[in-house]
């Protein structure tokens, strides 16, 4: 397996490298060292602006910059971007459909020791309610880099979610890996159950599929990196083939990938769907592996839910 890397590292590297090729500005709210926008700052100090600890102002400033025809990234932790500045994102950026890219790092419980106030497990739900907002949750370093470039090349508001915890770089191992906004990626073709995962949970879904294979269960694995616009076609097609679905997300099961998949399938192909994610709870302090175990964000949990989903098939 390739070396593990946090998607935030890839975000910073992408900004710093793509800054040579594309003209954009970067804003941060006193977290440049943590969000990794500092890598861009170091290389392009004249195009980087710290907004201080004032995330609401930062989002509206970004909107103002975008009205002048410039592309701009605004970064903070997911909690303070999607959470604290929700209304600025909705009214200043979303409503006028401005070309602002929100780079939100430190999402959900893999933040670890900082605990519940900094573990935003609600950001995908919040962001996907905003009309016209593109919401991307990359699974690994390669995908995170590709997502940043795709966001630059797509006009309009984009919410990009990155994590703090290192994750295996599965995308790098895929032959012909291609990132396209709104197009999910099938990792495994199976027939008994579909494991539809996003972000940090993608590699765990692959592990779960391996576990299930040992028991003679054939599982599809799909990576939905774009939560909005969601890949209805691939989700429907996979559900039809497998007849049962498990979703997996490092996010609350209220309003995130699980909900989005249910919305699609209720309309296109009603099959049993079981959701793995944060079960309507706040996070807490702890080491990341212990937290993942405590909140049920594991390959074992996905595999167990898969068997339950299969049992629910008519």
Partner 1 sequence: MEQTRLNALRRTANNIRLGIIEGVYSAGCGHPGGSLSIADILTYLYFEEMNIDPSNPKWDARDRFVLSKGHTAPALYATLAERGYFPKEELKTLRQIDSHLQGHPEMKNTPGVDMTTGSLGLGFSAACGMALSAKVYGNDYRVYTVVGDGESEEGQFWEASMFAAHYKLDNLVCILDLNGLQIDGPITEVMNPTPHDEKFAAFGWHVITISAHNFDEIEAALAEARTVKGKPTVIIANSVKGKGVSYMENECAWHGQAPKEDLYKVAVADLLAIEKEIK
Residue 234, classed as helix, strand or coil, is helix
How far lies 266's CA from each of 80, 174, 249, in Å?
A: 33, 31, 19
Can you tell me the distance from the alpha carbon of 106 to that of 24, in angstroms, rounded to the nearest whole number? 23
Our CB check for partner 1 shows the closer of 56 and 166 to be 56
Torsion over CA: 143, 146, 151, 154 (sign):
negative
Catalytic residue among 9, 17, 46, 55: 55
- Selected binder of partner 1 within 17, 18, 43, 47 (CB under 8 A): 47
Can you tell me the distance from the alpha carbon of 247 to that of 267, in angstroms, rounded to the nearest whole number? 17
Rule CB under 8 A: say whether 25 interacts with partner 1.
Answer: yes
**Residue 249 neighbours by CB under 8 Å, 6+ apart:** 124, 137, 197, 198, 199, 201, 256, 257, 258, 275, 276, 277
Rule CB under 8 A: say whether 46 interacts with partner 1.
Answer: yes
Rule CB under 8 A: say whether 43 interacts with partner 1.
Answer: no
**Residue 132 neighbours by CB under 8 Å, 6+ apart:** 94, 97, 156, 157
Our CB check for partner 1 shows the closer of 2 and 67 to be 67
Candidate ranges 2-10, 45-53, 119-127, 299-307; the one touching partner 1 (CB under 8 A): 45-53
CA angle 300, 306, 309 (to 5 degrees): 145
Give the x-and-dash track for 80-109 against partner 1 (CB under 8 A): -------xx--xx--xxx------------
Per CB under 8 A, contacts with partner 1 among 259-298 are none
Can you tell me the distance from the alpha carbon of 201 to that of 73, in angstroms, rounded to the nearest whole number? 26
Catalytic residue flag (residue 149): no
Number of residues in contact with partner 1 under rule CB under 8 A? 28
Phi, psi for 76 (deg, rounded to 5): -165, -170
Candidate ranges 14-22, 53-61, 211-219, 266-274; the one touching partner 1 (CB under 8 A): 53-61
Rule CB under 8 A: say whether 175 interacts with partner 1.
Answer: no
CB 180 within 8 A of CB 230: no
Can you tell me the distance from the alpha carbon of 23 to that of 3, in angstroms, rounded to the nearest whole number? 31
Rule CB under 8 A: say whether 154 interacts with partner 1.
Answer: no
- Selected binder of partner 1 within 67, 117, 153, 191 (CB under 8 A): 67
Rule CB under 8 A: say whether 51 interacts with partner 1.
Answer: yes
CB 166 within 8 A of CB 289: no
Our CB check for partner 1 shows the closer of 21 and 68 to be 68
Rule CB under 8 A: say whether 68 interacts with partner 1.
Answer: yes
Our CB check for partner 1 shows the closer of 85 and 253 to be 85
Minimum distance between the CB of residue 12 and partner 1, rounded to whole angstroms? Answer: 21
H helices present in the chain, as ranges: 7-21, 32-35, 38-43, 55-67, 78, 86-88, 123-128, 141-152, 202-214, 232-242, 257-268, 288-294, 299-312
- Selected binder of partner 1 within 11, 40, 49, 145 (CB under 8 A): 49
Minimum distance between the CB of residue 13 and partner 1, rounded to whole angstroms? Answer: 23
Our CB check for partner 1 shows the closer of 95 and 254 to be 95
Enumerate the active-site residues. 55
Residues interacting with partner 1, by CB under 8 A? 25, 46-47, 49, 51-52, 54, 56-57, 59-70, 87-88, 91-92, 95-97
């Amino acid at each position: 397996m390739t070396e593990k890397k946090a998607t935030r590292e890839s975000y910073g590297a992408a900004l710093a490298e793509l800054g040579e090729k594309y003209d954009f500005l970067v804003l941060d709210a006193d977290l440049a060292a943590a969000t990794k926008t500092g890598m861009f700052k170091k290389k392009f100090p004249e195009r980087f602006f710290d907004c201080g600890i004032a995330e609401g102002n930062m989002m509206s400033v970004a909107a103002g910059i975008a009205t002048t025809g410039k592309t701009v990234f605004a970064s903070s932790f997911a909690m303070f971007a999607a959470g604290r500045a929700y209304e600025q994102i909705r009214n200043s950026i979303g409503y006028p459909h401005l070309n602002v890219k929100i780079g939100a790092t430190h999402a959900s419980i893999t933040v670890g020791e900082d605990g519940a106030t900094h573990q935003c497990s609600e950001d995908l739900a919040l962001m996907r309610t905003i009309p016209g907002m593109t919401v991307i949750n990359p699974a690994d370093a390669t995908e995170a880099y590709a997502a940043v470039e795709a966001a630059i090349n797509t006009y309009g508001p984009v919410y990009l979610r990155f994590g703090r915890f290192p994750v295996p770089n599965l995308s790098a191992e895929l032959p012909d890996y291609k990132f396209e906004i709104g197009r999910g990626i099938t990792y495994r073709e199976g027939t008994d159950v579909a494991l539809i995962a996003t972000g940090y949970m993608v590699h765990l879904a692959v592990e779960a599929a391996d576990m299930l294979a040992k028991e003679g269960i054939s599982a599809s694995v799909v990576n939905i990196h774009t939560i909005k616009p969601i890949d209805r076609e691939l989700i429907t097609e996979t559900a039809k083939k497998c007849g049962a679905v498990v979703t997996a997300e490092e996010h609350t099961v209220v309003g995130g990938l699980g909900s989005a998949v249910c919305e699609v399938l209720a309309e296109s192909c009603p099959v049993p769907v079981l959701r793995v994610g944060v079960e309507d709870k706040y996070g807490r302090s702890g080491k990341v592996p212990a937290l993942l175990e405590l909140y049920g964000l594991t390959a074992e949990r996905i595999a167990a839910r898969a068997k339950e989903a299969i049992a629910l098939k008519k």
